[in-house]
Amino acid sequence: MSGSAESPWRAKVSKPSGGSFDPPFVGDGDALPANAVASIRSVAGHVGIASNAMGLAVPSNGGSNDPPHRMQNLACLSARGDGVLLQLSVVPNAKRTEVDGLHDGALRVRLAAPPIDGRANEALVAWLAKSLGVAKRDVELLRGESSRRKQVAIAVSFDVAARWLDEQCRGPRVG
């Protein structure tokens, strides 16, 4: 072992046709390939476990009965204490306030408010509170005050938020 230290977790794998090769090794900060993450999430969904955008396990209410789109919808939602965290991608100055699907791991919301003097943030908080059936004080903007990407904490159960998110992503758009 001169030059570089080999990982004890790395091993040569025999090929059926003879010879050997080094399998791809994930470690030391390397990310899993997208197809591996998709496979893990698929298997997790079948056993009743969902994962958020960070790949962390979060509750899933339906196990193998969950439709495939539900796992994708939950990517922007994660449990946090007694509430949830919601990742958002906000588009201000829209004709009306509505959900426009998922975008890069976040729920895209079109807001009928300009991004001036915090009006879009106020409209977002009011819309989320009304559509989730909670008070405005239960919706807190944690990150992204002056950005299109936002993180919001909402004092609502994960199950309620997951059902709402599922309805928003597949149902009629309500503003």
Residue 15 resides in a domain: no
- pTM reported for the whole predicted model: 0.59
Residue 99 predicted with pLDDT over 80: yes
Nearest to 168 by CA among 106, 84, 85, 94: 106
| pLDDT reported for residue 35 | 53
10 within some domain: no
Residue 32 within any structural domain of the chain:
yes
How far is Cα 130 from Cα 133, in angstroms, rounded to an integer?
5
CATH number for the domain that contains residue 47: 3.30.1200.10
Strands in 82-165 per DSSP E: 83-91, 98-103, 106-110, 139-143, 149-154
Burial of 126 (0-12, 13-18, 19+ CB in 10 A): middle
Q: Which domain holds residue 135?
A: 21-170
Q: Is the pLDDT of residue 125 over 50?
A: yes
Does residue 30 lie within any of the structural domains?
A: yes
| 12 found inside a domain | no
- pLDDT above 90 covers a percentage of the chain that reads 47
Residue 3 lies in a domain: no
Average pLDDT over residues 51-73: 48
Helical (H) or strand (E) element with 160: helix 158-170
Our count of domains for the chain comes to 1
What pLDDT, in 10s, does the model give residues 14-57? 445 555 544 444 444 445 555 555 555 554 554 444 544 444 44
Q: Residue 114 domain-assigned?
A: yes
